[in-house]
Structure 1
Amino acid sequence: MSMATLAAPRIAQVRGEPFFLWSAVAMAAVIVAGFSLQLAMGRSSFAASPTMVHAHAIVFMGWVAIYVTQNALVAGESMALHRRLGWIAAGWIVAMVVLGCAVTLAMVRGGRVPFFFTPLQFLVFDPVSLLSFAGLTVAAVVLRRQTDWHRRLHYCGMSILLGPAFGRLLPMPFLIPWAYELTFVAVMIFPLIGVIADLRSTGRVHPAWGWGIGTIVLATLVLVEIVTYSPIGLALYDAVTAGSAGASVAPLAYPPFPPHP
């Protein structure tokens, strides 16, 4: 076997580094832009009182920083530090799922769901999206020794987290009743870019994209739609909102538009 043959996988890996690094930066930019616009438009502020909301924001923005840092470490060939930070990131996922679901439940029970989603739809898609992110990310950790799978599954998982950012960038009130579905379309932009990048660099699509995109579509679109408009969803909503202000809110009716300031 020649030295050129031995070097080929390494060359292909190095050529992939700029794509994943700059994609991570672009994803982070979308998230920062979305939440900065929310702040600039006066739709949110740092004066929010619930400690849980602050913790949620810190943990989720922390993941964005971890994801960008991990890609930068790989690009810089700092693999030892990349692996150490990876174990911290693995534990970080638990906090994200717990806090994300807790905030969703608090909003639904309090009757404070964003007015461009129905309360039941919000109750279903937020936890399902989080669990889909966690599933893809855990799969990436399990396959960490298979770099080609590892980085693509991580990428797909991170793409799911762009939903709330796109929801703050898109004109959501004008997208009713398809606000969630069109946000899903926006989320799919990054995975499709990954597929195109593979085709351009290798002439084929890596199977990890099929698993990643398939998970996103089946879980965050198909499953969400099925559960939302089924007796299971209605029963879930009744159980979650029992004894709370949310119980008086119709699960499949859009909340009223907020009053003008």
Structure 2
Amino acid sequence: MASTARRHGAGIGFLATPRGPAFAPARDRNIYVLWIALIWAGMLAGFLPDLSRYFAEKPTPPPWILHIHGIVYFVWLALVTAQIALVEVRKPALHKQLGWWLVGLSVAIVVLGFVAAMVDMARSVSQSSYSPEFLGLEFQELAVFSILLWLAIEMRRDLAAHKRLMILLAVSIMDPGTARMWSLFSVDRPAAPLGWWFSFFWGNVTLVILMMAWDRWHHGRIHPALLGGGALIAAGEASAVWLNFAPWWHVAAGRLVAAWGWTG
């Protein structure tokens, strides 16, 4: 079992692991492997059919920046997975060394995510699918991801909190995969706000609920970091819905795309 200092180190108080044996790291052995496996499953189930269609139809290749963004994301997810594996096989020294590389890659995810979102929207201006208001969803994800990254760094000495925040970091940007899974069953998005939210974020909310159910069943309560991080993700999703249905944002986002201009 980790020492009290390791389990309750410096960080952000309201996210800290409660004192006592409930959240001892040994009690969560292997569960993070399941969480990251579910994230991989959601991403691959959404993107693999897209790749199959791409190679079958051979459309005009997308700009290089979109390829780079996709590659960096999957390298990032592979590194998160490796970090979980290192903890499971008790290699903490290597885990710490790779951790700061993961932070740097996470920053790159934010920068590339913004550029890719703008390029993708700018190149669709003349298409019937042009929806600049969708930038609201992408911008809130980048903001939530950035905040969760900072929280995970701050809580790195609190093992139970840090691990949950890192999984939530991956959950916060898994909807590109799971939202594509929705299109396997319906080509249209629901027009009402609640249905629109569910069609994009059903995977995120399902995994967060499963994590909370695990904590409640296995530890008797939900970890404060999971509650706080889950609330942050929910707030981001609520803002995405609000922006998507706000007329002023449609106008503002359209002007932003026009000012950006670059299509890659």
Identity %: 24
Counterpart residue number, 2:112: 99
In structure 1, the residue matched to 2:241 is 225
Q: Distance in 2 between matches of 1:232 and 1:144?
A: 40
Could you list the per-position Cα deviations for residues 203-228 of structure 1 after superposition, in whole angstroms to 9, with x for gaps in the alignment?
Answer: 111111211111011112x2123333
User: What do residues 84-128 of structure 1 show as CA deviations (whole Å, max 9, x unaligned)?
Assistant: 111001111111111111111112222269977x71331111121
1:94-243 aligned within 5 A = 94-111=107-124, 119-171=131-183, 172-177=186-191, 178-220=195-237, 222-230=238-246, 232-242=248-258
**Matched position secondary structure for 1:174:** coil
Aligned residues: 238
CA distance in 2, matches of 1:79, 1:16: 16
Classify the secondary structure of the residue corresponding to 1:85. Answer: helix
After superposition, the Cα gap between the structure-2 partners of 1:209 and 1:46, relative to the gap in structure 1 and judged at 3 Å, is farther
Task: Answer whether contact 2:179 2:201 (CA < 8 A) is retained.
Answer: no
Q: Please list every run of 5 or more consecutive structure 1 residues that lacks an aligned counterpart in the other structure.
A: 1-7, 247-261
Q: Summarize the Cα distance change of 1:114–1:197 in structure 2 as closer, same or farther, 3 Å threshold.
A: farther
Cα distance in structure 1, aligned partners of 2:203 and 2:127:
18
Q: 2 CA distance for matches of 1:104 and 1:49?
A: 13
What is the DSSP-based 3-state SS (H/G/I as helix, E as strand, rest coil) of the residue aligned with 2:30? helix
Aligned-pair RMSD on alpha carbons?
A: 2.9
Say if 2:196 and 2:241, in contact at 8 Å, map to a contact too.
no
Q: Which runs of 5+ in 2 are unaligned?
A: 1-19
Change (3 A) 1:186 1:22: closer
Give the 3-state SS of the residue equivalent to 2:29 in structure 1.
helix
Counterpart for residue 37 of structure 2: 25
Counterpart pick for 2:65 among 38, 52, 58: 52
Amino acid at match of 1:151: K
1 or 2 for the larger relative contact order (CA 8 Å, sep ≥6)?
2
SS in structure 1 of the partner of residue 215 of structure 2: helix
State the partner residue of 2:12: none
Encode CA deviations 1:9-41: one digit per residue, 9 max, x unaligned: 599312312001221122112212221121123
Contact 2:197/2:241, CA 8 A, preserved across alignment: no
